[in-house]
Amino acid sequence: MTDTRGRSGGRGPHPGPKQTAPGPGGRAFGQRARSELVRYPRGPGRHKKRRRKRRIRAPGGSGRSRGVLRSRSINAQTPARATEPRPRRPRLRTDKWRRRTRRCLRSRPSRSSSCSACAAPATPRGPTSSSSWPTTWASGTSAATGTARSGGDTRVRAGTSDACLCHPCPRVSPPRTPSVDRLAREGVKLTQHLAAAPLCTPSRAAFLTGRYAVRAGMASHNRLGVFLFTASSGGLPPSEVTFAQRLRARGYRTGLVGKWHLGVSCRHRDDFCHHPQRHGFESFHGFPLTNLRDCIPGSGSVFYSSRHLVVHVPVQVLLVCALTLALLHLLGLARVPVAVVVVPVLLTVAVAGGFFAFLHYFRPANCVLMTGFEVVQRPASYEELTQRLTREAVGFLERHAHTPFLLFLSFLHVHTAHFAAPKFAGRSRHGVYGDAVEELDWSVGQILDALDHLGLANDTLVYFTSDHGAHVEEVSEEGEMHGGSNGIYKGGKATNWEGGIRVPGVVRFPRELGRGLELAEPTSHMDVFPTVLALAGAELPADRIIDGRDLMPLLRGTRMQSEHEFLFHYCNAYLNAVRWRPQDGSALWKVFYFTPNFDPGTNGCFSSHVCFCFGKHITRHDPPLLFDLTRDPSERRPLTPESEPRYHAVLAAVGEAVAAHTRTLDPEVPQQLSLSNLVWKPWLQL
């Protein structure tokens, strides 16, 4: 999510003076000299400088040198000189720049490549001062903001995002994100903040309820782990309690702007049992589903990967069947009526035509903008969409500036397909992804400015985060990375490697918290629920298990260690990994019971576009894989009994914690992401 280069503002360090040093010296052999064009990496905002230098090449030598791009040869006769070899030139900052870039491109962690909000583990247990705030790269949704007046009223605003981008490579400056950088400088940065799930739907369910998604039946047992249709019957159960419901009961004005992605209706089109306004939000303006490629013409489709199974195979089988029947009839080997031959052909046309009709009507059926329970735009227009959502959020703040409030601002950025208003299009050096990041940052700035203008900034808790890590498999047909980068962390969206669950976390509450602090203890999305309720003076539900913990003692520094001794990481409904932070703080263990099968030589499941959680798509481990994240944040070196004396003791302690956790789960909970709840139901179509 962030790029740690020693300062904020979205610009990396300048690599030093642009003068090119003399070429490497050596003996003169009287051979022809070669003129070469030297280009050293340049810092942002600097003009390219070129300088020709003389390079003497020994007979049979290659003439190559690192960092040198050759121009055409220039023949010149140089008289031989009997001189001593020149002293070796001193290493310049450009040498360090090249070495760091090569190390970055090999995907090895370096001291310069920890991310601000997705940072490598640090040893301090409580909030510590941070001398400089790295640039924060944001994507997706924004988290919870709240204001607390001196009289005790607490107002809350929330937001989240769909991807986390860490950019460790010093060669390319990150997108400009001054507003998110400002938020980080003025608040507390959570460097070990964790998504409750590596996919949108279960992550958001856990965020709103403070409970693992599997407890609410919001974790899938099949390949598809999120909702793809507004006319699906699954969603966040009405029996679940959200922090919006609790705060509304305490007199808060509550609103959601942006993405929901937790279902709409159950049995009838107008029952809206899963709608945001059935879960504590007084107002809703946004998308009931999410942003998908199919929602923007010309951006492709999320269903293209299923063409082989749904279209190609049936069409081929039907055509072969029709051809066989026709040949049998023509050769006189069997009496085949013409109607029998025509039927497979008609079925072929029906299958292919049905698939393309589905793609054509998907957009107006599912990419809709709602206000309350009404569809106000079908299909939704993406023209200046972020500006319209931002105006709606600012209007909410202005309307409720004198009462306690909760605003959940959930951006559609930077879930693909990417989009940006004309004023942001083409402005970033990172293509459409960078444009979307910078537009998101502008929106964050508008919210912060509105709080300042209304005099609410000091009493407002602002929380910024992301749904999950970057989707590393999201690559355009031109090879452009559209899903972001997770920096030094392995994997991405849909996996429980650190790249999939380590997300940005920033909390700003000027009245209560210091500026420029870092908290290196494990924290979770689920912690927002008890934290917000405690600030509002609301009681936690007594009839259910709440897995989150109040963050305020950690943020204030009155508690030095996270209350999360164990955190359980689910891949859909399957327990994938467990994180253990012992009370003595001696290590940060992570145990994997299975891992996804990446494509050979890659950092993801590019052939399937996303990693799956069962069957041939995973490798089970017995004994489990064990990592110590304090020493190996990139999860490259599994520990063994030979390399770690505590190996067996750690696995035994984690096994006991898993058994205790499993006993708290209800196996009879209705599965909201079952196939019957995921499929499109025409009678539920909005």
Paired strand residues for 625: 592
Catalytic, 166? Answer: no
Cβ atoms of 433 and 414 closer than 8 Å? yes
More confident residue, 318 or 421: 421
Task: Quote the tokens at residue 333.
Answer: 């080997």
Q: Which residues contact 491 (CB under 8 A, 6 or more apart)?
A: 469, 472, 497, 498, 499, 500, 596, 598, 603, 604, 611
Angle at 277 between CA 276 and CA 282, to 5 degrees: 120
Indicate the DSSP class of residue 35: E
Buried b (16+ CB within 10 A) or exposed e, 384-402: bbbbbbbebbbebbeebbe
How buried is residue 600: exposed, middle or buried, by Cβ count under 10 Å (0-12/13-18/19+)? exposed
Residue 611 has pLDDT above 90, yes or no: yes
Q: Average pLDDT of the chain?
A: 78
- Give the highest mean pLDDT range of 6-10, 118-122, 210-214, 478-482: 210-214
The beta strands (E) that lie in 495-617 are given as: 505-508, 517-519, 523-524, 566-571, 574-580, 589-596
What values do phi and psi take at 551, rounded to 5?
Answer: -85, -20
Task: Quote the tokens at residue 374.
Answer: 């009404």
Per-residue model confidence as pLDDT tens digits over 340-367: 778 888 888 888 888 888 888 889 999 9
Torsion of CA 395, 396, 401, 406, to 10 degrees: -160
Closest CA to 187 of 152, 155, 144, 150: 144
What values do phi and psi take at 92, rounded to 5?
Answer: -100, 175
Catalytic, 295? Answer: no
DSSP state letters, 175-237: PP-HHHHHHHHTSEEETTEE-SSSSHHHHHHHHHHSS-GGGGT-S-SSS--S---TT-S--S-
Give the 3-state DSSP-derived string for 389-415, with helices as H, strands as E and coil as C: HHHHHHHHHHHCCCCCEEEEEECCCCC
Q: Return the minimum-mean-pLDDT range out of 311-315, 371-375, 435-439.
A: 311-315
Size of the chain, expressed as the number of residues it contains? 686
Cβ atoms of 605 and 597 closer than 8 Å? yes
Indicate the DSSP class of residue 664: T
Instruction: Report pLDDT for 649.
Output: 95
Of 115, 118, 164, 200, the catalytic one is: 200
Buried b (16+ CB within 10 A) or exposed e, 501-521: bbbbbbbbbeeebeebbbbbb
More confident residue, 545 or 418: 545
Over residues 80-98, the mean pLDDT reads: 43
Per-residue model confidence as pLDDT tens digits over 243-264: 999 999 999 999 999 999 999 9
Cβ atoms of 563 and 549 closer than 8 Å? yes
Distance of CA 332 to the CA centre of its chain: 62
Closest CA to 102 of 38, 169, 43: 169
How buried is residue 433: exposed, middle or buried, by Cβ count under 10 Å (0-12/13-18/19+)? buried
Q: How far apart are CA 636 and CA 192, in angstroms?
A: 18
Over residues 144-156, the mean pLDDT reads: 46
Q: Confidence band (pLDDT; 50, 70, 90) for 194? A: very high
Per-residue model confidence as pLDDT tens digits over 528-586: 999 999 999 999 999 999 999 999 999 998 988 899 999 999 999 999 999 999 988 88
Q: How far apart are CA 164 and CA 180, in angstroms?
A: 13
How buried is residue 572: exposed, middle or buried, by Cβ count under 10 Å (0-12/13-18/19+)? buried
Share of the chain above pLDDT 90, in %: 53
Per-residue model confidence as pLDDT tens digits over 296-309: 888 878 777 777 67
Of 167, 193, 261, 415, the catalytic one is: 261
Q: Confidence band (pLDDT; 50, 70, 90) for 57? A: very low
Per-residue model confidence as pLDDT tens digits over 427-437: 888 888 889 99
Q: How far apart are CA 258 and CA 237, in angstroms?
A: 20
Per-residue model confidence as pLDDT tens digits over 458-502: 999 999 999 999 999 888 777 777 888 898 999 999 999 999 999
Cβ atoms of 579 and 590 closer than 8 Å? yes
Per-residue model confidence as pLDDT tens digits over 463-472: 999 999 999 9
Identify the three-state secondary structure at position 363.
helix
Over residues 194-208, the mean pLDDT reads: 95
Per-residue model confidence as pLDDT tens digits over 91-109: 433 343 344 334 433 433 3
Per-residue model confidence as pLDDT tens digits over 203-238: 999 999 999 999 999 999 988 899 999 999 999 999
**Helices within 250-368 (DSSP H only):** 307, 313-330, 338-366
Instruction: Report pLDDT for 6.
Output: 36
Over residues 361-374, the mean pLDDT reads: 92
Residue 650 has pLDDT above 50, yes or no: yes
Residue 439 has pLDDT above 80, yes or no: yes
Direct distance between the N- and C-terminal alpha carbons of the chain, in angstroms, rounded to an integer: 36
Q: Return the minimum-mean-pLDDT range out of 14-18, 349-353, 449-453, 609-613.
A: 14-18
Give residue 601's region: left, alpha or beta (phi > 0; psi -120 to 50). Answer: left
Over residues 590-614, the mean pLDDT reads: 92
Q: Confidence band (pLDDT; 50, 70, 90) for 152? A: very low
Buried b (16+ CB within 10 A) or exposed e, 73-97: eeeeeeeeeeeeeeeeeeebebbeb
